[in-house]
Amino acid sequence: MINEKCVVVVFALICLLASQCLHSQEFRGIEGRWQISNISPEEARQRAIEEAKKEALRRAGIEERIRATEALSTIDSKEQFQQMYSSFSSVELNGAITRFDVVKDEIIKENIDGQLYATITINATVKKYTTKPDPEFKFEVRGLRNGYRNGELITFSVNPNKEGYLKIFVVDNNVDAAQLFPNYLEPNRKMNTKENVSFPTSNIQYTAKKTTKERHEHNLWVFVYTKSDIPFYSEVTYQSVLDWINKIEPYDREVVIEVLLLTE
């Protein structure tokens, strides 16, 4: 006899997949371009990819509202004024790209102006969200400073308005990513409403660690708070973290991004 629970689970999975298909669209041959001027070909290539992704979102009829935050610091070293700049933008949309593949990658010289352009063609899957952010589902990160010295210990607290589950990711100057919490010494757990949770939560240390030889560098700390325990199974990369976040409906998540300046 077939277990009734198994039937219910299978039915729920089928409904979930069907729902995702109904709200997803496939776009093929979407092109993005960026002029190679005062930037490297690789930088122009990355910007061209972003342009292609934006075009896929536009074709899906997704409204774009960009919220950008800049972290800017200046240094005076050996009579040279150096400016270290880090920026990040969080794009608030009613949909997101859940998958894309680069199918053509080339550098084209325009006949009209003679300029070189990085030109990227992608196939993309766009998911249109069915919900909006829950204004009551918020949390605060307290005690995290804007700057730390290399090797300095980092502590902070998280205060949620409602119960939920937290994951923290860190992206460094090399665009390498890691999952800070939960980890093998700090297990996943439900955070309670109005609870003040201090981090680290156990006998472990969070340490500011530079990964380049530059005097200054930036880290991006991404705090993702969800209503249910949504596992993250992928290899941790900047793109995989974004993809994971984008697959979660806005009503079921809240994201806070902090930029930390690390110095010698």
Residue 60 bridge partners (DSSP) = none
Contact 56, 91 (CB under 8 A): no
pLDDT in tens, the chain (264 residues): 445 544 443 334 334 444 444 478 899 999 999 999 888 888 888 889 888 988 998 898 886 654 444 433 333 332 222 322 232 344 456 788 888 899 999 999 887 778 899 999 999 999 888 898 999 999 999 999 999 999 999 999 999 999 999 999 998 877 788 999 999 999 999 999 999 999 999 889 999 998 888 888 888 899 999 999 999 998 998 888 888 888 899 999 999 988 899 998
Please indicate, yes or no, if residue 109 is contained in any of the structural domains.
Answer: yes
Same-domain check for residues 251 and 155: yes
31 and 71 assigned to the same domain: yes
Shared domain for 147 and 257, answered yes or no, is yes
> Rounded to the nearest 10 degrees, how much is the dihedral formed by the CA atoms of 146, 148, 153, 154?
10
167/195 same-domain check: yes
Q: Is residue 14 part of a domain?
A: no
| Single residue among 128, 152, 178 that ends a domain in this structure | 128
Token code pair at residue 71: 């972290």
Say yes or no: 204 and 144 in one domain. Answer: yes
Single-letter amino acid, residue 255: V
In a domain, 4, yes or no: no
The number of folded domains in the chain is: 2
SS3 1: coil
Say if residue 169 is in the same domain as residue 258.
yes
Query: Which CATH number goes with the domain that contains 177?
Result: 2.60.40.2550
Give the pTM: 0.72
Strand partners, 31: 121
Is residue 10, in this structure, part of any structural domain at all?
A: no
> Whole domain around residue 172: which residue ranges?
139-263
Residue 156 falls within a domain, yes or no?
Answer: yes
Q: Is residue 51 within 8 Å of 33, Cβ to Cβ?
A: yes
